[in-house]
Structure 1
Amino acid sequence: MLSRAPMPTLAPSRAERWDIFCTVIDNYGDIGVSWRLARQLASEHGIAVRLWVDDLRSFGALCPTLDTSRERQQIAGVDIRRWHNVTLDEEESATLTEDSDDALPGEVVIEAFGCTLPEYFVAAMAERAHPPCWINLEYLSAEPWTLGCHGLASPHPRWPLTKYFFFPGFDPNGGGLLREREVLAQRDARTGQGQKPAHIEHYPNLAPLPERGLRISLFAYETPAITALLTIWAELATPAAPICCLIPASRALQAVATFFGQSLQPGDVCRRGALEIHVLPFVEQAHYDALLQTCDVNIVRGEDSFVRAQWAAKPLLWHIYPQDEDAHCVKLDAFLDIYCPALPAAASAALRRFWHGWNAGELDADTWCAFADALPTLTKHAAVWSARLAEQEDLASRLVLFCRARV
């Protein structure tokens, strides 16, 4: 049974240790959010964080210094643990409880995106003299119903424990968005000169980029819209108005390779007319943030890069993770409904048409042209939108305040 938890009004003494559990289901979204959150809690809030991850290989793509062969290690102030996400029998659970601190929960336990905690760990949570604050960190959504569920408490059916639902979001009454203290200052330092750099930080093997024309980053899931958009760009780009597209190595790269009729790897450059494609390596998060901040348009996917594109304060296109029965379309429109009202009608219509076409896998030249014509307006709007979001408390800070009132 759910009940609404009262909003905290003060922050008691600091919790000593937090546990974050993350199951890598698909792509890098879940671990991307969990890793950002863990680092920020450690560096900005002085919290000792244990991050439990069941797939270190995928995690390693975001954290090149990670040793995927180790069971535990310290990186960026975070205690990273390999999570053997299996059910233990009673004997194994008892052994783990007696011989290891792995079963000693911290003051706060975060279940990222509804992953199921080990039963022995839940039992250990119940045995604490003061049970931890148990958080189910939900997926990001602008849907209105999430505001009604944010902070709701759900008592455990067997143990004297309560789980709280925490919804990241865009509204001041929600859970907020991940935003490190320095991210906006770093962005402004990179973009303050008003010129696009020929070289982007942390991409040492990248060929020099054209300093004029439209620069676009493309990070997407597989979709026929990639081929359609490349075709449109190749036909419409001109020497006076070239297009340079930067594509990090990802699942989208196969469509690009097929379009150019050749295999591709990081460092490759392809051209068709005034369209120029640069293939980038998959890099850690801070380096990807720098890429977004130096582009004119950012095509992003999932949750983590979607939020980072908003802090980049540039026009964006969101490739939302597809769900059964088109449930993702509702989430897509929920965001457009809060993002578009301040736009002029023509720009709003162009943005909605482009987003819907991309996520449906169907694009035509008119859709792209309308979006391109609206870019001056969309660029100003993106800056205003980002500034407005930055006036709110970030997700980590709201989470700390929420939990410290309950431990």
Structure 2
Amino acid sequence: MAGFSTPNRTRYTLIDMYRGLAIFGLLMVHMVERFGVWSSVREPGQISSLVHLAFAGKAYATLALCFGINFSLLVASAKRKGMSPLEDQIWRYSLLFAFGVANTLLFGGDVLQVIAVLAGILIVLSRIKDDNKLLLVGLVCMAQPLIILSCVIGAFAPDFTRMYLIPESTILQPLKLATQEVYRHGSFWDVMATNLSSGNILKWTYQITSGRVFKSLGLFILGVYLGRTGFLQDPVQYLKDRKWAVAIMLALLPITTVTKTIFSKLTSDDLSAYMVMIKTLSSSYFSLFALGAVLVLITWAYTRLPGKLFTPLEKAGQMTLTLYIMQSVVFVPVFYGFGLGGYAFITSGQAVVIGLVFFAAQVIFANIWLNHFDYGPLEWLWRKAIHQRKKLGSFRATRPTERLIK
């Protein structure tokens, strides 16, 4: 059965498949990074470099893009019902923030908090009715205006830039070292307290100085634009109609690949402050263009290859919240000092193999679960809380299409 065989599959489960890929990529990056605790294992690092090349900055970006598309679907659904989506949006993403706080207790690198906060900004920006104006705002965000400004500042105030503006800023090193000491040797309660305090400071500082906040917001907006302008109706035709944009993206990819390759061989200590920011900018642009090229290829394959090849990954994408938090619950105790202390003896290669096996188990779990229920456990809880003033209805299957938009 071809991927374009049914309207429901074409319109909605493509996004589920994107999310399934994103949650897999996040797991791989987190595994080689030992979920935020620095490894004691001395190794060449080729595996870690390959994982970062394949997924770092791209998995999270895919999740951001899917969020924007899903946001547009929720707004459109509310309008069809004659409802104002504002109150629902505020409540929905406040709950997501609460999930993020809960996950942060274990894993300081949680992204749910960031997504929820940016969703608040997106609620405001989505009031822009003109699609082209909205897209322009998104492109400006993805262009990384803060990093560009930091490049200029770095040329005139290098000491200030190194202290405050680069992702590995000097002023944060004592805090990073203290946080790592807790992750390696602290108790479970020490880790929770640290994640809620210094862990949050480090996370948000990195999100801002690396430009990830702007890139994520830009991808949110791009997702809304795609949803508004009919991407899900016929994804391949949509891309064909905008082949000029695809051509520009593909033309810029090799350029950013070369610049990233050159800069990746240089450490920040070898570069002036403004060149460090250019290195960061180059990496960000490479991730965007590489992600775009990969998603174009995946979209084409999705609409041409048998649908059953993608179904397992689609099911995983329908349970993104459950699977994402499950990964923290399982692997933080594996790597951290209060648990097995795996940071001290698990190599990157072993971490990747463990991650692959675990994700395969997650995919099997998702497929079995969704054969019996409409929603994943945490997705159901989230939906239950969103509709707390309404009767949710049976936990078991009702209409298949209802579970495709969360």
TM-score range, shorter chain: under 0.3
Instruction: Give TM-score, length-normalised by structure 2.
Output: 0.23
Instruction: Give TM-score, length-normalised by structure 1.
Output: 0.23
Computing the radius of gyration over CA atoms, which structure comes out larger, 1 or 2? 1
Going by fraction, where is strand more abundant, 1 or 2? Answer: 1
